[in-house]
Amino acid sequence: MDAMALGWVIMAPRGNRPLILQKSGGLQGMFAYAAFAPSRGVGVFIAINQFSVGAFNAMGMVANGLIEQLAPR
């Protein structure tokens, strides 16, 4: 994490990754993750209905990787 703004985590551009804003949350067995690259016009939203910390970590990595592939710097 490079910064925090209004509860959104900001990931600074590195290598091919553009600037990414991300937000995650969960409640009673549901996890959600939203991320977007505002300068590239690309966003990803993922939700799962199972309590799984491992899946939650993978969900963020997959979403950020997808943004990097779709909208490289």
CB within 8 A of 64, min separation 6: which ones? 11, 17, 20, 22, 35
pLDDT-derived band at 73, boundaries 50, 70, 90:
confident
Reported in sequence order, the residue ranges of the chain that DSSP labels E, i.e. its strands, are 3-5, 8-11, 20-27, 30-37, 42-48
User: Between β-strands 8-11 and 20-27, what pairing exists: parallel, antiparallel or unpaired?
Assistant: antiparallel
Could you tell me the pTM of the whole model?
0.81
How confident is the model over 22-72, as pLDDT tens digits?
A: 999 888 788 899 999 999 999 999 999 887 778 888 999 999 999 999 998
| Predicted pLDDT at 28 | 79
